[in-house]
Amino acid sequence: MKKTKQKIIKTFGKLHAVLILLFLYLPIFVVVAFSFNESRRNIVFTGFTFEWYGKMFENTRLIEAFGNTVIVALCSTIISTVIGTIGAIGLHKYKFKGKGIIDTLMYIPVVIPEIILGIALLVIFSAAQMPLGLLTLIIAHVTFSIPFVVFTVKARLNGFDPSVEEAAMDLGANRLRTFFEVTLPIIMPGVISGALLALTLSMDDVIISFFTTGPRSTTLPMQIYSMVRSGVSPDVNALSTLILIGTITIAILTQSGIITTIKNNILGRKQK
Amino acid sequence: MKPMVEIKNVNKKYGENHVVKDMNFTIYDGEFLTMLGPSGCGKTTTLRMIAGFEEPTGGSILVEGESIEEKEPYDRNVNTVFQSYALFPHKTIYDNIAFGLKMKKVKKPEIKERVTEMLSMVQLEGFEKRMPSQLSGGQKQRVAIARALINRPKVLLLDEPLGALDLKLRKQMQIELKRLQKKLGITFVYVTHDQEEALTMSDRIAIMNGGVLEQLGTPDDIYEHPKSKFVADFIGESNVLEAIVASIEDEKLILNTETGKVIGKNADFQKDEVVCISVRPEKIRFSETEVKGFSLAGVVKEHIYVGSFVKSIVVLPNGHEIKINRLAGDSLPPVASVTHLYWDINQITVMHSKEHQNYMLIQNIDLGGYQ
Amino acid sequence: MKAKKRFKGLPKIVTLAPVSIWLLLLIAIPLIYILVISFLGRNSNGSIRYSFALENYQKLINAQYLKIYAQSLLIAFFTTIISILLSYPFAYHMAGGSKTKKVIMMLLVIVPFWTNSLIRLYGWKTILGSEGILNGLLMKTHLIQQPLQLLFTMPAVILGMVYTLIPFMILPLYASVEKLDHSLLEAASDLGAKRYHAFLQITLPLTLPGIFAGSIMVFIPALGYFFVSDLLGGGNNMLIGNLIKNQFNISQNWPLGAALSIVLIAVTILLVKLYTKVGGNIDDLGVA
Amino acid sequence: MKRMLCICLSLLMIAGTLTGCSGSKSSKDDKKTLNFFNWTEYMPDSVLKAFEKETGIKVNYTTFSSNEEMLNKIKSGEKGMYDLTIASDYMVDTMRTSGLLEKLDQAKIPNIGNIDSKYTNMYFDEGNNYSVPYMISNAILCYDKSKIPEGINSINDIFDKKYKNSIVMLDDIRMVMGLAAISLGYSVNETDPAKVEKIKQKLISLKPNIKLFDSDSPKTSMISGETSIGFMWCAEVALAMQENPNIVPVYPKEGISLMIDNFVIPKDAKHKANAEKFIEFLLRPEISKMVSAEFPYVNPNKAAFELLPDSYKNNAASNPPASALDKAQLVKNLGDNAQLYDDVWTEFKNS
């Protein structure tokens, strides 16, 4: 009797998981499907066509926006990941007077309404006479990405054994070498998920980007936002489909790193 | 013998918590010295100060005559084996062991050769490609030692390396460590709270308590002649009695303990001074009648058979229990009978006692109907 | 010879300086700027009148605003509860799988995150519209004669919120369920606890930090996600997000908008502090 | 595996920077650029390309979705960031009084003569020293005659209970409240609290009939049949009519509210000359015709009007009857009463 009960729970669990994933992916199937739709309006599926993909590549402003987004997303992700990771290590290891303040400040970007953070940053940039452009965009994106990197890396640092660092120093590695040879590799999964989160946030932001960008540096989300405002037409769907495929490949590449290490472990155990 | 490590009035304070108080001792080249003491006695802190993970608030540490307390851990010709092994979880065993050499930019072929040699020394041939998570406790511990020794350090520091192993494996590792130390001739500084381990492995033991060096000496010197009540208590089992010097007859001391007179060996004690006597359980003998000079008697509470010998407990009138170990087969007074205790004065130690006032307090208790 | 004095503070400064300076410059200063504005007035042409005024905070206590706050809190509350009910079994199942399965399921949860959230909501609009796919199917199979009114209702807004925020609930839940060591469960059943007893007495309490962390990461954003209520709710009801947005746009009343934002931030920081008092581990707030 | 991972990540970065740099070729801020800040979907690409080809001036085109968004950016951003933008009538008034606009050099814009005199010398900018009308849009009603055969011709018709849950409205305070004001015969800029209270009650009575608010693209709900009555910009109605012939525009007899969008040059614009050149270029009849072809708003350019095809002329949505225009009202700044309207709107939305 106990066996079947466990089986039921297991299948229920599987079924539930599949339903949730379906729920998550339903609209994405629709978006991808309508990217091949013939009619201009995303209402009814009339015919199959690749027209929108072609049309999309001609749209130079779209490509330029995509270029800007890639630069901003990558630079802001790298900067916020670097500052966030070493910051998390610092916050994990050391106590200092203003620690309470920094910890509370860490939550502000998560909660502050985007429109007001955007305006406040714009006021600061103009007060500092900084010309609005890719640089100010990157600075703004780093500002709201850092907390997420710090949270994920700190979560990873939770189970970190400090004597491993001491062992490395004991064996002749200076502090910097220890960081790169020992600390960083161990907390890498935390750093990667922090970076992925920062990348996601940067590629989805519209309101803060609107206020902190200059005339020549519109980003893709802003472009999509304006296209959507005039009624979603299939070329937006086509664009989103391409981005989706792009991000899936990046995710598989980075995460597969973990999968292969797992495989090595399994192989390793067999060898013994 | 050339001094290898010199600790010169080293102090360490964490805020007001004075962890190491004015430590002074020397470790000689090729010696196996153990720092022994209860947890929190400052032994690990001292070790970490030699390794460079902590900086002394005062005093200096010299290795081969050169002061190193200002130096970074990676600039010191010293290596450490950690209690938690601290192997690099993301590197293979080969990379773990080769780490030190890689830092010294040793050429690849030489690294390969020395690592293979070290692996055979610790009986881990063929484990190069393994990950630390795939090894047992003993294997991990041996990799940690190999990783430290491969750099041919002047001094090897071991921070309770056998703590996590089971009894049988620990015994085996104790012997292996001793053999390795003798073979390589490297100075070992070993930290443990397990006194039996210290006694079996060390050339010399430094007993520490509350940040103070109680005694430094060979294992038998410490066992036979503990300098303080703490050392006597801490090393092996010991009966410690407080007494007052009634009179001195050339090298004999007539001592009044709370429940009777005993005799001890004189070593510059004054009359009426309060002293502590430390008597090893195997050194006390029973007697039907009172032996000359001794008036210590008590009721036999129980005899416990412990493999090769018998542990007996005798309760003195003031409730103090005396432990006596006799070889199995010796004649023993029956339980609940009164017996007289005596010993050979050369086999016990008399010590100056700090708790002087305490004795005065209990002197005039009426012993009442002693039967 | 004296070895060079080790500059002990270097690693501390190298690690903490960048993040602290960045936060102080680009978060603390805007916060002060917003706080200052929230105590100023508004000129007739919409610019800021630089004279101290408490009017903004007084204005907050008016029936309409309280109604909006209540409604937003209600929607955020329902969104959180539904997210927990949907995510818990999923996270539990995910934590039970093999290592590779865990990574794959984690990926499956994160990937939808990366397509533009607006486009995905439009996807829902196409599905739920009265001429949409769902209604079309139901009509075709004669289950219903009249198309159902699914869009522009409160449930549609909550569906949109849950859809956008559910990954924020699954990941911390997964993190705390995975940390749970299963020997505890065996111990419970060994002591005669039936399956649901074991769940109530052991699993649930131990995964409370995860639930609490997930709730905070769903509840707070849900208060501010005005574009979900505009798209799926047809702008029929106002959330705190809409209210704040209007102050900065149409009515050009920055000080009032600032005051509203300060209140929202204060409520959130209060929630986070409450969370730490309950013993939740702050680090659980981070994604697994 | 790790090495392969790093290689692909670095490849990605190089690709990103390449497309990025190629994208923003003329990063130097030289003479030959025009930073144009415009509404989304309000300027055909073809016109921008034609201008670039003819004058060699590269147009950096950034968009916003409401007058106030543009104002926020210009107000708090650095001076002279944008050379040209488009503001509705009341916004021109606000920006002019706040000193955010440059005076136009009339000599450089002779084509201003093409603009219908009805739309020049308006209250917000006598003598057009600061603004040049670009397009006029008015908020009108429309209905799907397949669903509502009896049709609609006045604002009060839509208050009928039978149209429950069937209207798509603009999500715009001034336009929606203006509609209710006009239906009561009040001005769209009514500030008398008693009258404003009446407007509020009237709006609340309309709420059950409203299915959704949508300023992005209300036409989608009309085309998809989600709603049978709509209150939206005339161009949206015109575009909806192309997709769904059943849709009929309605100029309610009580009158409509009007919005005139104008070219303006922000203060300290770096390329003022280029901006003026662009305005002059846009005022040419054939160019203005290109704009109306893609965005069927009401075109104030008389010269261009003649060139427009009949489909534009007899389409009532983009070419309103003269009678409707006389009674059209302009939305004005409310000054201190803005809060009054905001409270009404919040209560209406909450009802």
For D196-231, the pLDDT digits (tens) are 999 999 999 999 999 999 888 888 888 888 899 999
Q: Residue D174, class by beta-carbon neighbours within 10 Å (0-12 exposed, 13-18 middle, 19+ buried)?
A: buried
User: How many residues would you count in chain C?
Assistant: 288
* C37-67 pLDDT tens trace: 899 888 877 778 888 888 888 888 888 888 8
Q: Is the pLDDT of residue C1 over 70?
A: no
Three-class SS of residue D264?
strand
For residues D91 and D104, is the Cβ–Cβ distance under 8 A? no
CB C16 to CB A90 under 8 A? yes
Question: Residue B148: which domain range?
Answer: 3-229
Task: List the beta strands (DSSP E) in chain D.
Answer: 33-39, 58-64, 84-88, 131-144, 167-169, 210-213, 229-233, 247-250, 257-264, 329-330
With a pLDDT cut of 90, the percent of chain A lying above it is: 21
Q: How many domains does chain B have?
A: 2
Nearest in space to A114 (alpha carbons), one of A228, A202, A206: A206
Q: Which of C129, C230, C243 sits opposite D226 (nearest CB)?
A: C129
**Whether residue B220 sits in one domain with residue B243:** no
CB contact under 8 A, A21 and C108: yes
Of the partner residues A41, A64, A226, the one whose CB lies closest to the CB of residue D243 = A41
Residues B22 and B63 in one domain: yes
Residue B346 clears pLDDT 70, i.e. is over it? yes
pLDDT mean over A91-118: 85
Q: How far apart are CA D27 and CA C46, in angstroms?
A: 35
Section C12-33 average pLDDT:
91
Distance CA D39, CA A236 (A): 18
- Asked whether the beta carbons of B124 and B79 are under 8 A apart, the reply is no
Q: What is the DSSP letter of C48?
A: E
Q: Specify whether B191 is located in the same domain as B89.
A: yes
Against a cut of 0.90, is the pTM above it? Answer: no
In this complex, do A61 and D81 lie within 8 Å of one another by their Cβ atoms? no
Mean pLDDT value across residues D244-250: 89
Average pLDDT for residues B316-343, to the nearest whole number? 86
Residue B273 has pLDDT above 70, yes or no: yes
Chain A CB contacts of B72 under 8 Å are 169, 174
pLDDT at A21: 92
pLDDT at position C179:
63
What pLDDT, on a 0 to 100 scale, did the predictor assign at position B156? 93
Percent of chain C's residues with pLDDT above 70: 86
Each residue of C148-206: pLDDT tens digit? 888 888 899 999 999 988 887 887 777 677 666 565 665 655 666 666 777 777 777 77
Q: Which two tokens stand for residue A241?
A: 């489909």
> How large is the average pLDDT for residues B214-227?
86
CATH of the domain at B259: 2.40.50.140
Instruction: Using a CB–CB cutoff of 8 Å, tell me whether B78 touches chain A.
Output: yes
- D-chain CB neighbours of C152 within 8 Å are 211-212
Q: Does D45 touch chain A (CB under 8 A)?
A: yes
Per residue in B47-56, pLDDT tens? 999 998 988 9
What confidence score (pLDDT) does residue D332 get? Answer: 87
pLDDT at A190 over 70: yes
Report ipTM (2 d.p.). 0.78
Tokens of D24: 């923003």
Whole-angstrom distance, CA of residue B100 vs CA of residue A195: 32
Q: Which amino acid is at C127?
A: I
- Which of C 11-50 lie inside 8 A of A, CB atoms? 11-12, 14-16, 18-20, 22-24, 26-31, 33-34
Q: Which of A252-256, B45-49, D142-146 has the lowest mean pLDDT?
A: A252-256
* One domain, residues B217 and B333: no
Instruction: Compare all CA atoms of chain A with the CA of D35 and give the residue at the minimum distance.
Output: A215
Residue of D nearest to A255 (CA): D5
Interface probe for C, chosen from D209, D339, D340 (most Cβ of C below 10 Å), is D339
SS3 assignment for chain B: CCEEEEEEEEEEEECCEEEEEEEEEEEECCCEEEEECCCCCCHHHHHHHHHCCCCCCEEEEEECCEECCCCCHHHCCEEEECCCCCCCCCCCHHHHHHHHHHHCCCCHHHHHHHHHHHHHHCCCCCCCCCCHHHCCHHHHHHHHHHHHHCCCCCEEEEECCCCCCCHHHHHHHHHHHHHHHHHHCCEEEEEECCHHHHHHHCCEEEEEECCEEEEEECHHHHHHCCCCHHHHHHCCCCEEEEEEEEEEECCEEEEEECCEEEEEECCCCCCCCEEEEEECHHHCEEECCCCCCCCEEEEEEEEEEECCEEEEEEECCCCCEEEEEEECCCCCCCCCCEEEEECCHHHCEEEECCCHHHHHHCCCCCCCCCC
Question: Can you tell me the distance from the alpha carbon of C199 to that of C194, in angstroms, rounded to the nearest whole number?
Answer: 9
Q: Do A269 and B134 touch (CB under 8 A)?
A: yes
pLDDT at C286 over 50: no
CATH fourth-level superfamily of D137-258+320-350: Periplasmic binding protein-like II (3.40.190.10)
Give the C-alpha separation, C186 to C203, whole Å. 11
What mean pLDDT is predicted for residues A63-84?
A: 91
How many CA atoms, within 13 angstroms, populate the side-chain half-sphere of residue B92?
13
Interchain contact, D68 vs C250, CB within 8 Å = yes
Whether the per-residue pLDDT at C285 is higher than 70: the answer is no
Does residue B114 have a pLDDT over 80? yes
Residue of C4, C7, C8 to mutate, interface with B, max B Cβ within 10 Å: C4
Total domains in chain A come to 1
User: Mean pLDDT over residues B333-358, rounded?
Assistant: 77
- The range of the structural domain enclosing residue A262 comes to 59-271
Residues from chain C contacting residue D346 (CB–CB below 8 Å): 64-65, 68, 238, 243, 246
Which chain C residues contact residue D98 at CB under 8 A? 45, 47
pLDDT at position B10 is 92
Check pLDDT > 50 for residue B240. yes
For C237, which of D68, D171, D350 is closest by C-beta distance? D350
Average pLDDT over residues A173-198: 85
Q: Which residues of C touch A148 (CB under 8 A)?
A: 286-287
Q: Does C137 touch chain A (CB under 8 A)?
A: no
Per the CB < 8 Å rule, is A231 touching D20?
no
Tally C-beta pairs within 8 A across A and D: 116
pLDDT at D26 over 50: no
Q: What is the pLDDT of residues C246-279, one digit of tens each?
A: 888 888 888 888 998 898 888 878 877 777 777 6
Å between C186 CA and nearest CA of chain D: 38
Does pLDDT of C282 surpass 60? Answer: no
* Domain count across chain C: 1
B72 interface with C at CB cutoff 8 Å? yes
Check if CATH label 3.30.70.580 holds for domain D32-135+260-313.
no
- In a domain, residue B370? The reply is no
**Cβ contact D–B (≥3 pairs, < 8 Å):** no
> Is 60 exceeded by the pLDDT of residue B281?
yes
Q: Which of A65-79, B73-87, B286-300, C209-223 has the lowest mean pLDDT?
A: C209-223
Question: CA of A156 to nearest chain B CA: how many angstroms apart?
Answer: 15
Q: In CATH, what number is assigned to the domain containing residue C231?
A: 1.10.3720.10
Tell if the CB–CB gap between A177 and B103 is shorter than 8 Å.
yes
Closest-CA distance of chain B to residue C171, Å? 25
What pLDDT is stored for residue A20 in this prediction?
A: 92
Quote the minimal CA–CA distance from A218 to chain C in Å. 16
| Minimum distance, in Å, between the CA of residue C96 and any CA atom of chain B | 21
Those of residues 278-337 in D touching chain C at CB distance below 8 A are 333, 335-336
What does the pLDDT average to over B70-99? 91
Query: Does the pLDDT at position C129 exceed 80?
Result: yes
> Does the distance separating the beta carbons of D94 and C236 come in below 8 Å?
no
Q: What are the boundaries of each domain within chain D? A: 32-135+260-313, 137-258+320-350
Q: What phi and psi values does residue B144 have, to the nearest 5 degrees?
A: -60, -45
| B226 contacts B213 by C-beta, under 8 angstroms | no
By C-alpha distance, the chain C residue nearest B70 is C3
pLDDT value, residue A257: 63
What residues of chain D, 102 to 161, have a C-beta less than 8 Å from chain C? Answer: none
Say yes or no for a CB contact (<8 Å) between D20 and A68.
Answer: yes
Higher pLDDT, A260 or B368: A260
With respect to residue B319, please indicate whether it lies within any of the assigned structural domains: yes
Shortest CA distance from D173: residue in chain C: C250
> Could you say which residues from 177 to 206 on chain B have a Cβ atom under 8 Å away from some Cβ of chain A?
none
Residues 152-181 in A contacting B (C-alpha not used; CB under 8 Å)? 161, 163-164, 166-174, 177, 181
Strand partners, B304: B311
pLDDT of residue C159: 94
Pairing state between β B78-81 and B155-159: parallel
- The confidence score (pLDDT) of residue D37 equals 93
Domain-located, residue A28: no
Average of per-residue pLDDT across C131-139:
85
For residue B189, pLDDT over 90 is answered with yes
pLDDT at D203: 92
Report which of A232, A176, A263 is spatially closest to residue A37, judged by C-alpha positions: A232
**From CA A237, how far away is CA A220, in angstroms rounded?**
13
Task: Give the mean pLDDT of D130-151.
Answer: 90
Average pLDDT for chain D: 84
Q: Is residue A29 part of a domain?
A: no
pLDDT at D217: 82
Inspect the interface and report whether the beta carbons of C149 and D165 lie closer than 8 Å. Answer: yes
Question: Is there a contact between A167 and B80 if contact means CB atoms under 8 Å apart?
Answer: yes
Write the residue in A161, A173, A269 that is nearest to B103 by C-beta. Answer: A173
What's the CA gap between D68 and D73, in Å, rounded? 9
Strand pairing report for D167-169 and D84-88:
unpaired
pLDDT(D117) > 60: yes
The pLDDT value given to residue B360 = 44
Residue C172 pLDDT: 72
